[in-house]
Chains A and B, each alone.
Chain A
Amino acid sequence: MSRLFELRVIIGGLFLVYGVILTVTGAVDNGAQLAKAQGVRINLWTGLVMLAIGVVFLAWGVARPDNPDQES
Chain B
Amino acid sequence: MHVLAESHLRLSVNAEDYVILAVYFLVVLGIGFAARTRVKTALDYFVAGRSLPAWVTGLAFVSANLGATEVIGQAANGAQYGAMTVHYYWVGAIPAMVFLAIFMMPFYYGSRVRSVPEFLGRRYDGSTQALNAVVFAIAQVLIAGINLYALAIVVQAMLGWPQWVSIVVAGAFVLVYITLGGLSSAIYNEVLQFFVIVVSLVPVVLLSLKKAGGWAAMKTKIDASVLGNPGLHAWRNTGFGSHNPMDASWLSIVFGLGFVLSFGYWTTNFAEIQRALSAKNMSAARRTPVIASYPKVFLPLITVLPGMLALVLVPGLGKTYQYNDAIPLLIRDVLPNGVLGLALTGLLASFMAGMAANVSSFNTVLTTDIWEPFLRPGRSDEYYVRLGRWFTVAGVAAGVGTAFIAASFSNLMNYMQTLFGFFNAPVFATFLVGLIWRRMSNAGAFCGLAAGITGAILVYILSVNHVVDLGSSLNVSFIVAAIGFAVDIVVSVLVSLVTTPVEQSRLEGLVWGSNPDPGAAAALSRAGRGSTIALGAGVLVIALILYILVF
Interface residue ranges, A against B (CB under 8 Å): 1-5, 7, 10-11, 14-15, 17-18, 21-22, 25-26, 29, 32-34, 36-38, 40, 42-43, 45-46, 49-50, 53, 66, 68, 71-72
Interface size class of B (residues with CB under 8 A): 35 or more
B283 near A71 with CB under 8 A, answer: yes
Interface residue ranges, B against A (CB under 8 Å): 16, 19-20, 23-24, 27, 31, 34-35, 38-40, 44, 48-49, 51, 53-54, 56, 184, 188, 191-192, 195-196, 199, 203, 206-207, 210-211, 280-281, 283-284, 333-339, 342, 527
- Tell me, rounded to whole Å, the shortest Cβ–Cβ distance linking A19 to chain B: 10
**Partner pick for A34 among B281, B335, B336, CB 8 A cutoff:** B336
Beyond A4-B184, A18-B20, A46-B342, whether A37 also contacts B280 by CB under 8 A is no
B336 near A33 with CB under 8 A, answer: yes
B207 near A72 with CB under 8 A, answer: no
A10 near B31 with CB under 8 A, answer: yes
- Residues of chain A within 8 A (CB-CB) of B199 are 15, 46, 49-50, 53
A33 near B281 with CB under 8 A, answer: no
Which single residue of chain A is at the shortest CB-CB distance from B43? Answer: A1
Determine the distance from Cα of A10 to Cα of B34 in the docked complex, in whole angstroms: 12
Beyond A7-B191, A46-B199, whether A37 also contacts B335 by CB under 8 A is yes
B339 near A38 with CB under 8 A, answer: no
- Residues of chain A within 8 A (CB-CB) of B334 are 36-38
A14 near B27 with CB under 8 A, answer: yes
A2 near B27 with CB under 8 A, answer: no
- Tell me, rounded to whole Å, the shortest Cβ–Cβ distance linking B178 to chain A: 15
- Tell me, rounded to whole Å, the shortest Cβ–Cβ distance linking A52 to chain B: 11
- Residues of chain B within 8 A (CB-CB) of A72 are 53-54, 284
A1 near B24 with CB under 8 A, answer: no
**Partner pick for B335 among A42, A45, A49, A68, CB 8 A cutoff:** A42
Beyond A2-B51, A17-B23, whether A36 also contacts B336 by CB under 8 A is yes
- Tell me, rounded to whole Å, the shortest Cβ–Cβ distance linking B316 to chain A: 20
B336 near A42 with CB under 8 A, answer: yes
**Partner pick for A21 among B16, B39, B188, B206, CB 8 A cutoff:** B16
- Residues of chain B within 8 A (CB-CB) of A14 are 23-24, 27, 192, 196
- Tell me, rounded to whole Å, the shortest Cβ–Cβ distance linking A72 to chain B: 5
